[in-house]
């Protein structure tokens, strides 16, 4: 290191922070130094209620003993094993545990290290699957407006969040988008799934008519769109998407990076809505956010299409150095065990009505133009300040932090997704603080 470039204490300049207003943050940093249960502790010693499970990932809450111990033990026992042409028991155990947890058609698990990688993996499997079956012309990918599928090139191509796409060139070719399902004029303040909008799935028929089904590999959607600000599927919408994709031989991928692992009160949204896609992508809650890990769940039909040809040949030319990493696998196993042992998915399901009432109690507060909810997810949409979109919600985020509450905002929408271990008392605390914030918001 050059002597004139020595770091000084509290120098924040080197770390280029992700999805952050870097210059603003570094002028007034918000730092967490520890976490336990439902609370973070800030650098200045305040306990902050975690209204967002980190970034939708710490579904079991923080500092959970089983997970901590499993990680500590695994690091000393087997820190790393090559992921290609070698194995170790924990990755197989975790794949089995995931299969046991998932709805019936999902028999196989491909490990990744994040939601973004799970998406890339699923899109590649979709295209290669058709090719393996002699339908190599099926290469088109269909996403949806306002969809979030991570930040890699495939994900932003099928994704529909404008700012995540427009700075990054031409993206993948051969991609189309379904319309989003946000119809506030008809569905505002709906509790749970909205009544209107199932027919928006029929737009897929137009895309099929335009290009021909034999050019389309897959449709990818979030069963409930999280990052864009919590857009729930209209009643009947997912069923229609499933019916149309099936009829045309198009694979359906549910991106369950947010909806997986109990967020809606069941293992996956596929189970919650009883609509079975062909693949599920997940990450986040898989390891409670403790160690990065993601996964793609597939059916026998997809997996078996690859298991052809000479047995010494690699069947899928895809994978990551850390696919099924031992420490991540240990964290995943302990996380699934914690969910099961503590009945956390059941807790989320049984608290959902109380949560729903609490979220909708904010109706009528200044600037609130819509409220949406499902499972342990809530969204409060605020009227944007004219000429300064996102500013009002971001101010709410800053004010909430001052009141020792962590929320997330996207655009002018506040999104809430607490750890599934939350209690009624903590729900009251969360909404008590948030209503104070909203009452005083300019």
Residue 195's CB is within 10 A of a number of other CB atoms, namely 12
Residue with tokens 């004139």: 4
> Which residues face 324 on adjacent strands?
none
Closest approach, Cβ 32 to ligand PXG, in A, equals 16
Regarding 381 and contact with ligand PXG (CB under 6 A), the answer is no
Binding segment (CB under 6 A) for ligand PXG, from list 21-29, 82-90, 129-137, 142-150: 142-150
For residues 35 and 33, what is the distance between their CA atoms, to the nearest angstrom? 7
Regarding 112 and contact with ligand PXG (CB under 6 A), the answer is no
Regarding 198 and contact with ligand PXG (CB under 6 A), the answer is no
Best CA proximity match to 290, nearest among 252, 336, 244: 336
Q: With contact defined as beta carbons under 8 Å apart, do 126 and 279 qualify?
A: yes
Regarding 374 and contact with ligand PXG (CB under 6 A), the answer is no
Regarding 176 and contact with ligand PXG (CB under 6 A), the answer is no
Regarding 138 and contact with ligand PXG (CB under 6 A), the answer is no
Regarding 293 and contact with ligand PXG (CB under 6 A), the answer is no
Binding segment (CB under 6 A) for ligand PXG, from list 30-38, 138-146, 386-394, 407-415: 407-415
Regarding 222 and contact with ligand PXG (CB under 6 A), the answer is yes
290-320 residues labelled b (16+ CB within 10 A) or e (exposed): bbbbbbbbbbeebbebbeeeeeeeeeeeeeb
Regarding 255 and contact with ligand PXG (CB under 6 A), the answer is yes
Regarding 150 and contact with ligand PXG (CB under 6 A), the answer is yes
For residues 133 and 128, what is the distance between their CA atoms, to the nearest angstrom? 9
Dihedral angle computed from the Cα positions of residues 35, 36, 40 and 44, in that order, rounded to the nearest 10 degrees:
-70
> Which residues face 62 on adjacent strands?
37
Order the strands of the 47-50 sheet from edge to edge. 32-36, 39-42, 47-50, 405-406
For ligand PXG, the closer of residues 58 and 305 by Cβ is: 58
Regarding 227 and contact with ligand PXG (CB under 6 A), the answer is yes
Regarding 116 and contact with ligand PXG (CB under 6 A), the answer is yes
For ligand PXG, the closer of residues 40 and 132 by Cβ is: 40
Binding segment (CB under 6 A) for ligand PXG, from list 31-39, 112-120, 237-245, 369-377: 112-120
For ligand PXG, the closer of residues 208 and 295 by Cβ is: 295
- 243 Cβ neighbours under 8 A, 6+ residues apart: none
Q: Give the binding site for ligand PXG (CB under 6 A).
A: 55-56, 114-116, 119, 148-150, 222, 226-227, 255, 257-258, 283, 408, 410, 415
């Amino acid at each position: 290191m050059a002597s004139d470039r020595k770091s000084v204490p509290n120098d924040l300049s080197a770390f280029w922070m992700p999805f952050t207003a870097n210059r603003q943050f570094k002028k007034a940093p918000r730092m967490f130094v520890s976490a336990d249960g439902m609370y973070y502790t800030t650098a200045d010693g305040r306990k902050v209620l975690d209204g967002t499970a980190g970034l939708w990932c710490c579904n079991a809450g923080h500092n959970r003993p089983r997970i901590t111990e499993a990680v500590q033990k695994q690091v000393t026992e087997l820190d790393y094993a090559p992921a290609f042409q070698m194995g170790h028991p924990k990755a197989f155990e975790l794949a089995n545990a995931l299969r046991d947890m998932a709805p019936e058609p999902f028999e196989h698990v491909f490990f990744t290290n994040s939601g973004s990688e799970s998406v890339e993996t699923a899109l590649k499997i979709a295209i290669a699957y058709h090719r393996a079956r002699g339908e190599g012309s099926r290469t088109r990918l269909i996403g949806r407006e306002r969809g979030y599928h991570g930040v890699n090139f495939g994900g932003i191509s099928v994704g529909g969040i404008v700012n995540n796409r427009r700075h990054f060139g031409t993206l993948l070719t051969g991609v189309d988008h379904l319309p989003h399902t946000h119809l506030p004029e008809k569905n505002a303040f709906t509790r749970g799934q909205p009544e209107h909008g199932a027919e928006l799935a029929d737009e897929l028929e137009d895309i099929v008519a335009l290009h021909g089904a034999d050019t389309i590999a897959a449709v990818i959607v979030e069963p409930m769109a999280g990052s864009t600000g919590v857009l729930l599927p209209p009643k009947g919408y997912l069923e229609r998407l499933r019916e149309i994709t099936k009829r045309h031989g198009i694979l359906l991928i549910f991106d369950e990076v947010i909806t997986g692992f109990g967020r809606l009160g069941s293992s996956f949204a596929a189970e919650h809505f009883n609509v079975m896609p062909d693949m599920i992508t997940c990450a986040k809650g898989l390891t409670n956010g403790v160690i990065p890990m993601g996964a793609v769940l597939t059916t026998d039909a997809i997996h078996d299409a690859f298991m052809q040809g000479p047995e010494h040949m690699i069947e899928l030319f895809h994978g990551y150095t850390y696919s099924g990493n031992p420490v991540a696998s240990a964290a995943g196993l302990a996380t699934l065990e914690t969910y099961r042992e503590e009945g956390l998915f059941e807790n989320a399901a049984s608290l959902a009505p109380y949560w729903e009432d609490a979220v909708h109690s904010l109706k009528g507060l200044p600037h609130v133009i819509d409220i949406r909810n499902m499972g342990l997810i809530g969204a409060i949409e605020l009227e944007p300040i004219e000429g300064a979109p996102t500013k009002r919600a971001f101010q709410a985020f800053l004010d909430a932090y001052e009141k020792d509450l962590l929320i997330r905002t996207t655009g002018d929408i506040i999104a809430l997704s607490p750890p599934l271990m939350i209690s009624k008392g903590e729900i009251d605390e969360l909404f008590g603080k948030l209503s104070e914030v909203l009452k005083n918001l300019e």
